[in-house]
Structure 1
Amino acid sequence: MPYFLIERNYAQDVEPYLGAFDDINRINDTEGVRWLYSFLSLDRRKTFCLYEAPSADVIRRAAVAAGLPADVVVELTGTVTPDGALASL
């Protein structure tokens, strides 16, 4: 299944709370989307999330259902390590 990086921009500081994660994961499950992890920017107004999903459209649909922004959705094809090695995902 393809991997995607999602950039989310927020108008206010992101304040994660445990109850929201259950709802987000439930919505993702219904869409066939798996949230792997997220990075939070220093100013707490942007996240960069790694997801596994059938398509970018499915990620956008799950984001709308969860009330989350999905400003940029990029499909990933591989990794590059500090020694220059390339690997497929």
Structure 2
Amino acid sequence: MPMFVVEREFAEKFDPDEAGLKLIDQYNEDHDITWITSFLSADKKRTYCLYECADIEVLRRHAHDLGIPADEITQVDELAR
């Protein structure tokens, strides 16, 4: 399954509540999106999230449907260690 990094910039600090996180988890499950990990910038206004899903359009719909930014989506082929 292809992997993608989604870069999101928020106007305010990113501080989701438990209900919001559950909504995202359910959406991911319903749309065959696997969240792998996320990184949060020091100012908490930018996230970098790694996902597996069928294609980039799935993640564009994900952002639109959930009302969250997706400033840049990049397909990645492998993880460097």
Normalised to the residue count of structure 1, the TM-score between the two structures is: 0.84
Match of 1:23 in 2: 23
Over the aligned positions, Cα root-mean-square deviation in angstroms equals: 1.1
| Letter in structure 1 aligned against 2:52 | E
Structure 2 residue matching 1:79: 3-state secondary structure = coil
**Structure 1 position 37, deviation (Å):** 1.6
**Structure 1 position 18, deviation (Å):** 1.6
Contact 1:9 1:69 in 2 (8 A): yes
2:55 counterpart of 1:55: yes
Match of 2:43 in 1: 43
Match of 2:34 in 1: 34
Contact 1:33 1:53 in 2 (8 A): yes
Q: How many residues align?
A: 81
Whole-Å separation in 2 of the counterparts to 1:37 and 1:60: 18
**Structure 1 position 25, deviation (Å):** 1.2
**Structure 1 position 47, deviation (Å):** 0.2
Normalised to the residue count of structure 2, the TM-score between the two structures is: 0.91
Structure 2: stretches of 5+ with no match in the other structure: none
- The percent of aligned pairs where both chains have the same amino acid is 35
Cα shift readout 1:56-81 (whole Å, capped 9, x = no counterpart): 10011011111111110001011333
| Letter in structure 2 aligned against 1:30 | D
Contact 1:36 1:50 in 2 (8 A): yes
Match of 2:14 in 1: 14
Structure 1: stretches of 5+ with no match in the other structure: 82-89
| Structure having the higher Rg | 1
